Amino acid sequence: MIGIFDSGIGGLTVVKAVFQQLPDYEIVYFGDTARTPYGTKSPATIIDYAIQDTEFLLSKGVKIVVVACNTASSVATEALRDRFTGIPIFEVVTPAVVKVTQVTKNYNVGIIGTRATINSNIYNKKIKDLYADIKVFSNACPLLVPLVEEGWLKRRETKMILKKYLYPLKRKQIDTLVLGCTHYPLLKDIIQAKMGKRVKIVDSSAETAVYIKNYLTEHPEIDVILKRGNNNQFYVSDFTPTFAEIAKKILGRPIHLLLA
């Protein structure tokens, strides 16, 4: 099984993308709804939580782990790989970085994410490792996660806040923008409209799913141990009807959330 974890429900955007790329594969999802959000927490706490999330997924028998959360990917990947050496661990930053280097033409790139993601500077470092000439402009957008969770996807207030967050990046004439947070794909249309058609939007969820698919093609020995079937399991560390509603909004259908 493919294990996928997030700080909450937003990571279902990655699940949706994985279902699109790998429809036959069985997944176990864990959303740490009791302790969400991670994006406002310190690196030490995020690492601690990410280790526990991974242990939970491993206890369910998963053979690979996908860190769907951009915040945990940015801050905790190294710690997870150091600790869980026997299993492939995927994160959502690298696939987006690779895509950025393929699509930017003017070498001015923007990143939006939670405070912890932007403060980690990981996108900047990884992009510069591949192409030192690319200029990276980032902006933390802490208000977007609560707006998405409230379902304020098309509200005037959300558009105004987005305008404020995106304006500094627009001024830098970026031609590529990374949605560096699980929740932002739900705002993709408004973000695209605000940035203009010229700007290419890179969705880390979609890129990660393609990345995993390619990896499995190149690693048949891992592919063969992943279970196929429909018995997907969705665990949360706390349950409220709101989580169920957000899940339905993201996946386009209701799912049964199990309490971990």
- For the annotated catalytic residues, the residue numbers are 69, 181
Of the candidates 5, 29, 30, 38, which one interacts with ligand DGL according to CB under 6 A?
Answer: 38
Closer to ligand DGL by CB, 145 or 216: give it. 145
Angstrom distance (rounded) from CA 108 to CA 173: 7
Using CB under 6 A as the binding rule, whether residue 95 contacts ligand DGL is answered as no
**Is residue 148 involved in binding ligand DGL (CB under 6 A)?**
no
Of residues 64 and 72, the one with the C-beta less far from ligand DGL: 72
Question: Which helix (H) or strand (E) is 2 found in, with range?
Answer: strand 2-6
Judged by CB under 6 A, the residue of 50, 62, 66, 70 near ligand DGL is 70
In the complex, the smallest distance separating the C-beta of residue 237 from ligand DGL, rounded to whole angstroms, is 13
CB of 70 vs ligand DGL, minimal distance in Å: 3
**77 belongs to the binding site for ligand DGL (CB under 6 A):** no
CA–CA separation, 65 and 84 (whole Å):
10
Greatest CA separation for the chain: 50
CB 128 within 8 A of CB 114: no
**Residue 185 binds ligand DGL, judged by CB under 6 A:** no
Among the listed residues 1, 2, 5, 6, the single contact to ligand DGL using CB under 6 A? 6
The sheet carrying 135-140 orders its strands as 135-140, 108-113, 176-180, 200-203
Phi–psi pair at 235, nearest 5 degrees: -105, 145
* Range 163-182, binding ligand DGL (CB under 6 A): 181-182
Q: By CB under 6 A, is residue 71 in contact with ligand DGL?
A: yes
For ligand DGL, the binding residue among 1, 96, 145, 186 (CB under 6 A) is 145
- Cα separation, 44 vs 65, whole angstroms: 20
Our finding on whether 7 is near ligand DGL (CB under 6 A) is yes
> End-to-end alpha-carbon separation of the chain, Å?
17
Query: What is the Cα–Cα distance from 88 to 45, expressed in whole angstroms?
Result: 23
Nearest approach in angstroms of CB 16 to ligand DGL is 14
CA 60 remoteness from chain centre: 22
Cα dist. 235→19, 44, 97 in Å?
17, 24, 29
For ligand DGL, the closer of residues 126 and 183 by Cβ is: 183
Size of the site for ligand DGL (CB under 6 A): 18
Q: Which residue, 63 or 243, has its beta carbon nearer to ligand DGL?
A: 243
Binding site for ligand DGL (CB under 6 A): 6-8, 10, 36-39, 69-71, 113-114, 117, 145, 181-183
